[in-house]
Amino acid sequence: MSLTVTVSPHIKSKESVQSVMLDVIISLIPATILAIWFFKLRSLIVILVCIISCCLTEYLAQKIMRRENTVSDLSAAVTGLLLAFCLPPSTPFWIAGIGGMFSIIFGKTIFGGLGHNPFNPALVGRAFLQLSWPKDTSVWTTPFDALTTATPLSITRYGLEGKIPDTFSLFIGNCAGCIGETSKLALIIGALYLLYRKHIKLHIPLSYIITAIIVSVLFKTDPVFHILTGGLVLGAFFMATDPVTSPVTDTGKIIFGIGCGLLTILIRLKGGFPEGVCYSILIMNMVTPFIDKITIRKRFGA
């Protein structure tokens, strides 16, 4: 009997980066549809600008560095879509385009491309835009009529004038906020699809949300309000679960989620920003190698 010896991996899957990214895009379709319904054509244009900017930047960067082009794996498109989800509908188009460029170059390309980036690229772009153009990326509008207003988090954090929507409105997305974060209903539908396709596990989302609830209660604030406002649900299911930038072990994922939940509420209540999802996940991305180091079991005999 003849044996064929090949290099690893010996256990292969039919899944590819492209198929996984396509599933992520499919899971974000409900939130995209409701975002366009609530915030109209402008939100769609911001989404398209971010996606085109990310894809074009990745294509040019790969050409310049003479690397194999990876635009077709759809990872750049996912980065653009998630970046747009983190931006207000009123974001100037040129700022959205710069955000897409920054996300790809400084969030992924300089580290060697997909699989080597220590930080979530979309959040890198969002953090850069928030620090560079804080006024332009902090103008919020109401659904349907596009009137300038404050977000529910800003109203409670800074004591601004404005009416906080009821729980049902917060759940379906009929409130001011970033393009893709307002409708928790749409995000949960998308998350269920990713769970069904086994692309994510519940370790990070559940530990993230449960920790946020516990910390909210300890600070005597409404936990339901904190879950249904801002980007906590978007971050818990679609950002923090990024397999490249999160721990590999189940124990590590739980620790990661706990850290994200704790930091999110602390930043919201005690920090300089009314929202803490972006920076909490980026901070925990930095801690991921240490979490892996203390949670990965040593090989037998090592």
Domain boundaries, the chain: 18-295
Name the band, by pLDDT with cuts 50, 70 and 90, for residue 155.
confident
Give residue 67's pLDDT. Answer: 84
The mean pLDDT value for 77-100 works out to 96
Give residue 82's pLDDT. Answer: 97
Give residue 84's pLDDT. Answer: 97
pTM to 2 decimals? Answer: 0.92
Angle, vertex CA 48, rays to CA 42 and CA 52, nearest 5: 150
Give residue 66's pLDDT. Answer: 86
Least confident piece of the model among 59-68, 157-166, 188-197: 157-166
User: What is the CATH code for 18-295?
Assistant: 1.10.3430
Dihedral sign from CA coordinates of 214, 218, 219, 220:
positive
With CA atoms as reference, report the closest residue to 244 among 281, 285, 280, 187.
285
Name the band, by pLDDT with cuts 50, 70 and 90, for residue 172.
very high
Spatial neighbors of 15 by CB under 8 A, at least 6 apart, are none
Q: How many CB atoms lie within 10 A of CB 128?
A: 18
Q: Indicate the SS3 state at residue 54.
A: helix
Least confident piece of the model among 86-100, 117-131, 141-155, 281-295: 141-155
Query: Which of the 8 DSSP states describes residue 239?
Result: I
